Amino acid sequence: MRMNDPAKTAQTIFERLKGRYPSPEPALVHHGAWELLVATVLAAQCTDARVNLVTPEFFRRWPGPAELAKAAQEEVEEVIHSTGFFRNKAKNLLAAARRVTEVFGGQVPRSMAELTSLPGVARKTANIVLSNAFGVFEGIAVDTHVTRLAFRLGLTRSDNPVVIEKDLMPLFPRQGWGDINHYLVLLGREVCQARKPLCGECPLADVCPKNGVRP
């Protein structure tokens, strides 16, 4: 059933993964947009499981942007140390907290342009916050799993997240842009892993060209 039409392939991918993952949600534990933003920033180059161990203490000390804006960077670094790149993450989170407090009245903004004006927030993080916290779909979050699967499935020829996002957006319904990120991330973790993809267990095996997969 191998397909050459990316649009038809994408429709098949979406329908099958929707059946496999009927209620996808972020793996990052959060309550509200601010917590999701912080957790997503911390998750860069770190596992969601590790972030979920760190955020309870983080939000106990600094429940919202107003509290974090007054924190000492050294204290933030100490709490988030195990997530890696802790100095840069702490610096960005403090600056983002100040901007949210001073410019946006303490509320996480609801547009791509405003979110990406926050230090440490690029399109991937903004897309995750917009789609999951606000139901706003301005793009598709492209992380390492989405990058890998989009290429293997023949939906893009690029390894540039910006290009990949542009390639994917026309292929999927706008209201499904948040879900397709979840679907590909979940399938990437469970089946289409980086080193040893379990192609024999994949629900998309018959439509996947397996680009870049060694036989």
CA distance from start to end of the chain: 19
Contact 42, 62 (CB under 8 A): no
Our answer to whether residue 143 is catalytic in this structure is: yes
Separation of alpha carbons 43 and 60, rounded Å: 18
CB-based burial of residue 196 (10 Å sphere; 0-12 exposed, 13-18 middle, 19+ buried)? Answer: exposed
H or E stretch including 115?
Answer: helix 112-115
Which entry of 124, 159, 179, 210 is annotated as an active-site residue? Answer: 124
DSSP 153-185: TTS-S---HHHHHHHHGGGS-GGGHHHHHHHHH
Which entry of 48, 70, 89, 143 is annotated as an active-site residue? Answer: 143
Separation of alpha carbons 205 and 171, rounded Å: 19
Separation of alpha carbons 215 and 212, rounded Å: 9
Our answer to whether residue 18 is catalytic in this structure is: no
Catalytic residues: 124, 143
